[in-house]
Amino acid sequence: MKRFLLTLAVLAGMTPAGWAYNDHRGHNLDSLERVVAPWTPDAVDRATEEDLIGLNRAYRDLMLGYEVINGEKAVFYARKAIAISRRKGWTEATGDAARHIGQYYYAREQYDSAMVWFQESLACVERMAGGATSPLRPEGYSETDVDDSRSSLYGAIGNLYNMMDSIPKAMEYYRLAGEIFDKHGWNESNSVLYYNIGETWLEEKDYRQALPAYEKSLEYARMAEDSLLVANALKGLGGLYLEKGRTWKALRCLQEADRYYSLHDDQEFRFRMENLDFLSKVLQEQKRNMAWWLAASLALVLLLVGIILALRKLHRTRKEQAEAAAVMDEALEELRPAPAGTVPHKATLPKLSDRDRQILTLIAQGKTNPQMASALFLSPETIKWYRKKLLAKFDVPTSAALISKAKDLGLV
């Protein structure tokens, strides 16, 4: 679903300078309808120029009066106003009523009909630029007047193409509006424009183009010193960072936006609620991320401990294998018969290997088999084998006798 698009600040343009706006809330619309009721088509045909100017103005007041409370009636009186202004060639009045009809259809998502009326309104603006006049503006229209009306319609048509998913066309009209805003230094309007562009690219998941659009919206809002527009731009940036998973950046933007929104409690309630919704999602995402990181860290620690234990066991196993091979070699050497022609003699000292001496020393120190196994990274079975071998080499029956004889021989 398309995100809500801000209305360009200049959409209130195109109000004829000669027609001071009458606040419709001060009118009794029923009374005004009774005033225009006698004006049948025949009566209109016979009316004077002055009467038609007044009637057109009355129709326009009814259009504005009913715009919020009864859209169908507003369109009915807008068409009545257009019937007069077209016939008289009052370009500005025609364009103004056509734009209101376009807004009516836009709000009801009847985009094809809205486009017809917006384009007619834009054509009226171009005629104003070409020198068209009206009884209320016989001197014509200034460049600023024309650009004001033109840019508002560029923005409206851009939004319309946006809702119709014609993004390239939308961007074309947004660009045209932006050029006019830059020309006159209308920073507020440019902030709104680039916010809409950011929302469009965010909807399209094109984060690369959404980011600079939101940043320009914020830049123009700060230049305009409009805190509400600053809040909207920061909200847009926060929503973008949220979708990209950059929750800490999102949190900073959204918190700052909320501070600005707090200055405007009576305005843009919808946008502040959206900002608070983003904040809630950011905090939930950060909570999930922290839980994930804790679980991942714990798993990593357990993995490292497992690896260390496995390496130690592997090291011990390799030492045991090497020790077992040395024991086998020693046993085979002892079992090998003496070379022919040698005369056996009785050795005064047992023949001990380096490992024999290590274990003999530990036995003399009173170490148990498990203690010696742990100290030498050998298995308890290997220690038992060495202990039995030492008893045999010293020809003694017990470990106590072994220690005593080793001391007598000066080996410990």
Write down the domain spans for the chain.
9-279, 354-408
Between 281 and 347, whose confidence is greater? 281
For 292-337, what is each residue's pLDDT tens digit?
Answer: 878 888 888 888 888 888 887 787 777 667 666 666 666 665 556 6
Q: For all residues of the chain together, what is the average pLDDT?
A: 86
Span 157-180, mean pLDDT?
Answer: 95
Span 398-402, mean pLDDT?
Answer: 88
Q: Are the CB atoms for 315 and 376 separated by under 8 Å? A: no
In this prediction, residue 335 carries a pLDDT of: 56
- Topology annotation, domain 354-408: Arc Repressor Mutant, subunit A (1.10.10)
Q: Are the CB atoms for 217 and 174 separated by under 8 Å? A: no
CATH topology match: 9-279 vs 354-408:
no
Chain CA centroid to CA 409, Å: 83
For 90-128, what is each residue's pLDDT tens digit?
Answer: 999 999 999 999 999 999 999 999 999 999 999 999 999
Q: Are the CB atoms for 170 and 200 separated by under 8 Å? A: yes
The DSSP secondary structure of 179-232, one letter per residue, reads HHHHHHT-HHHHHHHHHHHHHHHHHTT-HHHHHHHHHHHHHHHHHHT-HHHHHH
Per-residue pLDDT at 218 exceeds 70: yes
In this prediction, residue 136 carries a pLDDT of: 80
In this prediction, residue 412 carries a pLDDT of: 83
Could you say which architecture CATH assigns to the domain 9-279? Alpha Horseshoe (1.25)
Q: Are the CB atoms for 118 and 158 separated by under 8 Å? A: no
Q: Are the CB atoms for 194 and 223 separated by under 8 Å? A: no
In this prediction, residue 11 carries a pLDDT of: 39
Q: Are the CB atoms for 67 and 25 separated by under 8 Å? A: no
Confidence of residue 187 (pLDDT cuts 50, 70, 90): very high
For 6-46, what is each residue's pLDDT tens digit?
Answer: 655 433 333 333 333 344 444 588 899 999 999 999 999 99
Span 330-354, mean pLDDT?
Answer: 62
